[in-house]
Amino acid sequence: MSHLPKLRLRMRRLRRTPKIRSMVRETNVSTSDLVYPIFVDENIKERREIRSMPGQFRIPLDDVADEVKEAAELGIPAVILFGIPSRKDERGSSAYAASGVVQTAVRNIKKELGDDICVITDVCLCEYTTHGHCGVVDPKTRRIKNDETLELLAKTAVSHAEAGADIVAPSAMMDGMVAAIRDSLDREGFEDVLIMSYAAKFASSLYAPFREAANSAPSFGDRSTYQMDFANALEALREVELDLKEGADIVMVKPAMCYLDVLYRVKEKFGVPTAAFNVSGEYAMIKAAAANGWLEEPKVVLEVLTCIKRAGADLILTYFAKDVAKMLKGYSEPK
């Protein structure tokens, strides 16, 4: 034994007891970091569980305020709303109807809860168009028409603001969408409404459960002419830079788990409020493994969200938000 060097520095001293570990822990997820996504469905009267997202439901308009209230009472500061309309058309006109599903939901929530919850609305067309794309489609070429789409996204954002949304979150990945929305909001007197841009949104196969839930899969082709190639990180930095120049208050990286390098670089380079979307496929994978007894769900969820925060997220959009809020209420280190 005497031939071994004397260890003056022993890293394990910092790990000896739970109290010591908690004192030197660098990152803690807190409920105040979380945003809870909610699907509001104008076609139903009773909540319906989403097949590929166990524990998540499509919520009828009459129940949405109660659903949000439950999240607020758990200490969750914000929800993000996705709408499932009763009517779709080529130009997604239900997305910007004054009495559309999201607009009505926001009014119901705000009437009940006021500023006790921050209401974020997803601004996109794919749930509202017959073809399921996030923009206007040219019938001849089948291309997505960028500049024509901007007007519709801006109209949608303004209609959400009129209903009382605190933050609008454009997710269509059209060029210039943040500028178009900022200009329209300001013109209509909504200069205090924030924009959280889905700035680096990748064309990911991990959105499949969401598309099943929202009935928003494209009927032809895919989203790779507008959402980003998952191979690219430098391009993500350009997207974020552009959105910030156009007036985004918060930028988002989406998905989260496989994109922590992108998240880290965005936070390092710009140092602005940064969100990460722990998407439906990430939720489904953990749920499926846990249901098989292959993973311990609460531990995995806490690890995943802590690592997303460690990589640079200030806020995390996650379907686990309510579960985590409950866990953290009585939380001490897992044994």
Say if CB 137 and CB 92 are below 8 A apart. Answer: no
Nearer to Zn ion, 31 or 93 (CB): 93
Catalytic residue list contains 269: no
CA atoms within 13 A on the CB side of 331: 16
CA atoms within 13 A on the CB side of 67: 25
CA 146 to chain CA centroid, nearest Å: 23
List beta partners, residue 123. Answer: 170
List contacts with ligand PBG (CB under 6 A): 122, 124, 126, 134, 171, 207, 210-211, 216, 279-280
279's contact among ligand PBG, Zn ion, none, with CB below 5 to 8 A by partner kind, is: ligand PBG
Minimum distance, C-beta of residue 12 to ligand PBG, in the bound complex (Å) = 39
What is the residue whose two structure tokens read 């569980």? 49
Minimum distance, C-beta of residue 124 to Zn ion, in the bound complex (Å) = 3
Candidates 155, 254, 267, 309; catalytic one: 254
List contacts with Zn ion (CB under 5 A): 124, 126, 134
Of 35, 44, 70, 36, which Cα lies nearest the Cα of 215? 44
Minimum distance, C-beta of residue 190 to ligand PBG, in the bound complex (Å) = 21
Distance, CA of 12 to CA of 91 (rounded, Å): 61
Q: If DSSP codes are grouped into helix, strand and coil, which group holds residue 191?
A: coil
List beta partners, residue 81. Answer: 38, 121
Candidates 110, 155, 201, 309; catalytic one: 201
Minimum distance, C-beta of residue 147 to Zn ion, in the bound complex (Å) = 17
149's contact among Zn ion, ligand PBG, none, with CB below 5 to 8 A by partner kind, is: none
56's contact among ligand PBG, Zn ion, none, with CB below 5 to 8 A by partner kind, is: none
Nearer to ligand PBG, 152 or 332 (CB): 152
Minimum distance, C-beta of residue 278 to ligand PBG, in the bound complex (Å) = 8
Nearer to ligand PBG, 62 or 229 (CB): 229
Distance, CA of 72 to CA of 318 (rounded, Å): 15
The dihedral through the CA atoms of 93, 94, 95, 97 has a sign that is: positive
259's contact among ligand PBG, Zn ion, none, with CB below 5 to 8 A by partner kind, is: none
Nearer to ligand PBG, 124 or 236 (CB): 124
Catalytic residue list contains 326: no
- Residue type at position 333: E
Annotated catalytic residues are 201, 254
